[in-house]
Chain A
Amino acid sequence: MRARRWLPPVVAVVVILATWELFVRVSDVDPTLFVPVSRIALAVPEVLTDELYVESLLATLRLLAAGFAISALLGVSFGLLLGRVRILDRALSPWANGLYAAPLPALIPIITAAVGYRLTAKLLVVVIIGVFPILINTFQGVVETDPQLIEVARAFRSRELQIWRNVVLPFALPYILVGLRLGVVRCLIGTVVAEFYTSPGGLGYMIIIFSRRFDMASMLVPVLTLTTLGMALVGIVGLLERRLAPWQQRAQDRP
């Protein structure tokens, strides 16, 4: 059973890598740009043992953790608030939806010009990119809470805050978890852009350094690290979803 699941992707990877190696060797493309697999394989241990790599990875994880924590806190709180307070919903939801659809990294040069290159600027970038999917999904869950449940709670004289804690939040939990899964991916994207364009540090900065040197092979190491990180985070939140909200059927594990 295991082999049946793992074999096809492994075969696919091997075939693709072999084709790539062959293509680069046979054709006359520039091997400094289109690096053969063998060169990448050599670069991997070199970069991984570099002190800068470990430092950068830790910096990225720190920024990501802080940014995600703030995004989750703000997203869930505002999602709850907008979902329960009608006038706030009417006044602010259109803007939240609009900001979710807008390419927010366009604001980065303005943020760095106004806030500088401090940690605040980095966190701000991560949070404005990461907060909206969490907010919007929480909101969706809150709005869809079964009104009968709320009525029963009211009949038993629950206060609004008790309704939030005991009815609305549990009902919205699967939605919140979906929001967190989408949010963590966006936070990771935000972290990388923040590292590109604000103060130096992190895997994003490493990518920029290697790209200025046109060192394609080394550059792939932080990129692949980020891929792994992205998949691991999505996996962890997915696991949480199955653990905490097993009643919520997940259609597919696709984006």
Chain B
Amino acid sequence: MTVSVPRDRSAGAAEPPPPQGDRRTPDHHALVSRWAPPLVALLVGLALWQLVIVLELGQLPLPSPWDVAYAAYDFGTSGEFWSAALESGRVLVQGFVPGVVLAVAVGMVVGQFDLLDRGVGPLLFAVYTTPFIALIPLLLILFGFGVTGKTMIVFFLVWITVVLQTVAGVRNVDDKHVEVARAFRSPRFREILEVTFPAALPFIVAGIRLGIGRALVGVVVAEFETAVTGLGGVILLKAQQLELAEAFIPALFLGGVGVVLTSGLRRWEGRLQAWKQ
């Protein structure tokens, strides 16, 4: 829910009308009319950018789209790039999995007990509201400037986001469902497993989505700080050598990863919400 964003009531309203007659042509049309405008906008933007560079209108030492495309082909296929991507990816996975597991476990417990929630909840919220970038130097000093430090950053960013959402999800469980479970004398663990957890799941997934966005930023910034490793390190190094076309490649790659993960999780959230109604 990103709790605070008003619920999207128009979902489905913008869907194209159901295809009639020959199934293939309308589907094909829908696809074209959906993707053509953004692609045209992209091409226009790139053409303008190329023009500015070619005509030397700006004073900025930016690479042209053509340079970036060439760098994508040349540098994007190099071992240097992929070993950096592998390093960043490893850090992300290593921190992400325990972060989610521990956050769900803690969140389920905190959410069950009102007093605990009222005591710890505001603290968790305060930590969450801290601009998380400010905590990165602190975590790096505590846990080292290597893989461990970066993993801890991912772990921490994912954990704090998911734990808050899990607590919100548990508190959001329909009391009637809990009452029914209790009326049928269902044991506590079954109640948690079969009533509380499914009800909290959409919140948890939203937390994972938000957490992963923050974790990506966290890894990149941590790698600026440690300077020599991972995709963030590559961006910094290439930018300092003024090889900006090549510096764009890891940035674009990270953007793609962010978009794919976020939209995938959003879709999952949508499916979880669908049966709720």
The B242-274 residues at the A interface (CB cut-off 8 A) are 242, 244, 247-248, 250-251, 254-256, 258-259, 261-263
Of B77-85, B96-104, B133-141, B193-201, which binds chain A?
A: B133-141
Total interface residues on B, using CB and 8 Å?
A: 77
Is A197 interfacial (CB-CB < 8 Å)?
A: yes
Produce 1/0 per residue, B101-135, CB < 8 A to A: 00000000000000100111111011111111111
Contacting residue for B125 out of A94, A98, A196, A254, CB 8 A: A254
Report the number of A-B residue pairs with Cβ-Cβ less than 8 Å: 199
Q: Tell me, in angstroms, the Cα distance from A140 to B244 when the chains sit together.
A: 35
The A33-58 residues at the B interface (CB cut-off 8 A) are 33-34
Contact A185 B220 (CB under 8 A): no
Q: Tell me, in angstroms, the Cα distance from A113 to B8 when the chains sit together.
A: 40
Q: Tell me, in angstroms, the Cα distance from A227 to B261 when the chains sit together.
A: 28
The B1-29 residues at the A interface (CB cut-off 8 A) are 1-6, 8-10
Size bracket of the A interface: 35 or more
Of A8-16, A18-26, A68-76, A153-161, which binds chain B?
A: A8-16
Chain A contacts of B240 at CB under 8 A? 109, 113
Chain A contacts of B261 at CB under 8 A? 101
Contact B254 A137 (CB under 8 A): no
Chain A contacts of B250 at CB under 8 A? 106
The A89-132 residues at the B interface (CB cut-off 8 A) are 90-95, 98-99, 101-110, 112-115
- Tell me how far the C-beta of A56 lies from the nearest C-beta in chain B, rounded to whole angstroms: 12
Contact A254 B3 (CB under 8 A): yes
Contact A114 B5 (CB under 8 A): no
Contact A174 B137 (CB under 8 A): no
- Tell me how far the C-beta of B210 lies from the nearest C-beta in chain A, rounded to whole angstroms: 7
Is A239 interfacial (CB-CB < 8 Å)?
A: no
Q: Tell me, in angstroms, the Cα distance from A220 to B261 when the chains sit together.
A: 33
Q: Tell me, in angstroms, the Cα distance from A5 to B2 when the chains sit together.
A: 25
Is A251 interfacial (CB-CB < 8 Å)?
A: yes
Chain A contacts of B259 at CB under 8 A? 98, 101-102
Is A207 interfacial (CB-CB < 8 Å)?
A: yes
Q: Tell me, in angstroms, the Cα distance from A9 to B217 when the chains sit together.
A: 30
Q: Tell me, in angstroms, the Cα distance from A171 to B262 when the chains sit together.
A: 28
Is B72 interfacial (CB-CB < 8 Å)?
A: no
Q: Tell me, in angstroms, the Cα distance from A226 to B135 when the chains sit together.
A: 10
Is A188 interfacial (CB-CB < 8 Å)?
A: yes
A91-B235 in contact given A189-B131, A192-B134, A226-B131 (Cβ < 8 Å): no
Is A141 interfacial (CB-CB < 8 Å)?
A: yes
A234-B129 in contact given A16-B123, A223-B135 (Cβ < 8 Å): yes
Task: Give the dominant DSSP class at B's interface.
Answer: helix
Chain A contacts of B132 at CB under 8 A? 189
Contacting residue for A251 out of B3, B62, B239, B258, CB 8 A: B3
- Tell me how far the C-beta of B160 lies from the nearest C-beta in chain A, rounded to whole angstroms: 10
Is A62 interfacial (CB-CB < 8 Å)?
A: no
Q: Tell me, in angstroms, the Cα distance from A90 to B250 when the chains sit together.
A: 28
Residues of B within 8 A of A (CB): 1-6, 8-10, 33-34, 37-38, 40-42, 60-62, 115, 118-123, 125-135, 137-138, 140-142, 161, 164-165, 167-168, 171-172, 210, 213, 216-217, 220-221, 224, 231-232, 235-236, 238-240, 242, 244, 247-248, 250-251, 254-256, 258-259, 261-263
Known: A112-B239, A216-B142. 16 other contacts (CB 8 A): A8-B118, A13-B123, A92-B38, A102-B254, A102-B256, A103-B255, A104-B217, A109-B239, A113-B239, A140-B5, A144-B6, A182-B5, A223-B134, A226-B134, A230-B129, A254-B4
Residues of A within 8 A of B (CB): 5, 8-9, 11-13, 16, 33-34, 87, 90-95, 98-99, 101-110, 112-115, 137, 140-141, 143-144, 174-175, 178, 181-182, 185, 188-189, 191-193, 196-197, 203-204, 207-208, 211, 214, 216, 219-220, 222-223, 226-227, 230-231, 234, 248, 250-255
